[in-house]
Amino acid sequence: MTPSAGRRPQLPQETAPLPQDEPDEHLRFAAYLDSLEHVPSADELTLVRRVLTDEHRGMAQSAVLRHMDRRAEALLLGADFAGWAASIQAAVDGHPFLSRRLQEWGLLRAIALRLPWQRDALLAASDWLQLRAAAGLNAGAVALLAEHGRTKRVRGTARSAKGTASAPMADHWS
């Protein structure tokens, strides 16, 4: 009987790999994410530093990046952000990508809260930050990115958000 006659071909059953089949760095990555998600604030800096000593530098930085993004997003508009960012900066010194991401979270915070921010800093920022700022946090940032965003995607996102961005247009950028 052919498949076209209504019979479906048998596919081998797929199973999830057993933990012992996972590479060590995958297991450590999952453990780091879990530990970072549940770490008390008082122990966060120590744990971040410990994770960053892992021999698999890329994996360790990826775990810390996910943690930073999660925490920064949760703290972004609150009063605790500045203190948290300063302490984490001390832990990620010597890791340029992580330091830059933390600085960009600070810029995103300034844009969202309408604090002073630098036009050139936003235009020099990563696509990651430009896309978030273009989504409509601040009308001034949206207008700037609609015209001068680095990529077509950033400019398009900003143009789509132009009518919905939070006013006023006279934002605190120079």
- What would the pLDDT profile of 35-77 be if each residue is shown by its tens digit? 999 999 999 999 999 999 999 999 999 999 999 999 999 999 9
Nearest Cα to 173, choosing from 125, 128, 126?
125
For the cut 60, the answer to whether the pLDDT of residue 96 exceeds it is yes
> Are the C-beta atoms of 146 and 162 separated by less than 8 Å?
yes
> Are the C-beta atoms of 133 and 122 separated by less than 8 Å?
yes
Structure tokens at 77: 């508009």
For the cut 80, the answer to whether the pLDDT of residue 167 exceeds it is no
Length of the chain: 174
For the cut 60, the answer to whether the pLDDT of residue 101 exceeds it is yes
Nearest Cα to 39, choosing from 4, 62, 70?
70
Largest Cα–Cα distance in the chain?
73
- What would the pLDDT profile of 115-131 be if each residue is shown by its tens digit? 999 999 999 999 999 99
Can you give the pLDDT at residue 168?
46
First to last CA, the chain: 73
Nearest Cα to 167, choosing from 139, 146, 132, 136?
139
H-state helical runs in 39-92: 41-51, 57-75, 81-92
- What would the pLDDT profile of 53-64 be if each residue is shown by its tens digit? 999 999 999 999
Q: What is the pTM of this model?
A: 0.81
Quick one: angle between helices 41-51 and 57-75, nearest 10? 150
